[in-house]
């Protein structure tokens, strides 16, 4: 079982995405795949067009209730459906979902972050998701979740992917806009573990969204006791490229 997380910026690389969907189509009969995607860039672009200010706290968007129709529209609407279209073109059978239909539980975070949500234990998936995977559909899951009161919540997509990978004991790959985690000379790093990650954070080399991603990757690697990959869009997720995060 493969979980592939796509950052929103990979939509700027349609050729790379086409190659990725082609690989998934070739592999789909051998091993099921699930895609989880973000779209932070697309939300930022929409806010800029509407003259709304983007506020982030430790890499997480402060998601005010009145802004949620825009955020949900971009993530679960536009970005989700753009990816669906690309998958259909590669003869895949995609199904667009939010985190709710996958069965992953989500609850609201600190009130200062508005309608920002976090994945909570137990990390479990729904029968519906398992049936879709068995029937060789490709679930394309946005990082919009719902709490038990039916409130929609904005979950960081790396966290959502980590939660689904844990629930499915899956092999997790983060596909981002950079080919790998880069060192202070901007060179790709082949492998990282908790000690080397700590050094990169201390030296200020690992920052922002990539720091959050590496922390989620390490968390999943340790939880499942298997390597997690961070790579760029043109990487073949079956082969070695990008950065491997070791448990």
Hey, which residues are catalytic here?
5, 8, 40, 158, 213
- Using CA atoms, how far apart are residues 73 and 43, in angstroms rounded to an integer? 9
| Site membership for ligand ADP, residue 182 (CB under 6 A) | yes
Q: Report the partner that residue 207 touches, choosing among ligand X2W, ligand ADP, none (CB closer than 5 to 8 A by kind).
A: ligand ADP
CB-CB contact of 213 with 242 (8 Å): no
| Site membership for ligand X2W, residue 232 (CB under 6 A) | no
| Site membership for ligand X2W, residue 154 (CB under 6 A) | yes
Applying the rule CB under 6 A, the residues between 88 and 107 that interact with ligand X2W are none
Give min distance, CB of 16 to ligand ADP, in A.
12
Q: Which is nearer to ligand X2W, 154 or 171 (CB)?
A: 154
Give min distance, CB of 167 to ligand ADP, in A.
20
| Site membership for ligand X2W, residue 157 (CB under 6 A) | yes
Choose one: 21-29, 121-129, 151-159, 234-242; the region binding ligand X2W (CB under 6 A): 151-159
Written as six digits, the tokens of 131 are: 């049936």
Q: Which is nearer to ligand X2W, 44 or 193 (CB)?
A: 44
Give residues in contact with ligand X2W (CB under 6 A): 7-8, 38-41, 43, 60-61, 71, 116, 143, 154, 156-157, 209
Give residues in contact with ligand ADP (CB under 6 A): 7-9, 38, 40, 158, 176-178, 181-182, 205-210, 213
């Amino acid at each position: 079982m493969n979980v592939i997380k796509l950052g929103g910026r990979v939509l700027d690389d349609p050729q790379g995405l086409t190659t990725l969907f082609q690989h998934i189509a070739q592999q789909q009969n051998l091993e099921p795949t699930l895609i989880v995607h973000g779209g932070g860039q697309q939300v930022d672009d929409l806010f800029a067009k509407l003259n709304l200010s983007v506020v982030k706290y430790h890499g997480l968007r402060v998601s005010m209730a009145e802004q949620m129709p825009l955020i949900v529209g971009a993530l679960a609407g536009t970005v989700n459906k753009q990816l669906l279209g690309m998958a259909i073109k590669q003869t895949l059978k995609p199904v667009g979902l939010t985190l709710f239909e996958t069965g992953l539980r989500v609850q609201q975070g600190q009130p200062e972050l508005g309608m920002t949500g976090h994945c909570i234990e137990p990390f479990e998936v729904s029968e519906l998701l398992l049936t879709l995977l068995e029937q060789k559909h490709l679930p394309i899951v946005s990082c919009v979740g719902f709490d038990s009161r039916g409130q929609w919540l904005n979950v960081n997509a790396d966290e959502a992917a980590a939660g689904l990978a844990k629930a499915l004991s899956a092999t997790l790959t983060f596909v981002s806009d950079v080919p790998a985690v880069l060192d202070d000379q901007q060179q790709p790093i082949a492998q990282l573990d908790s000690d080397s990650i700590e050094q990169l954070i201390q030296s200020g080399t690992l920052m922002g969204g990539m720091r959050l991603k590496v922390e989620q990757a390490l968390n999943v690697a340790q939880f499942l006791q298997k390597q997690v990959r961070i790579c760029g869009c043109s990487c073949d997720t079956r082969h070695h490229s990008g950065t491997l995060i070791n448990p």
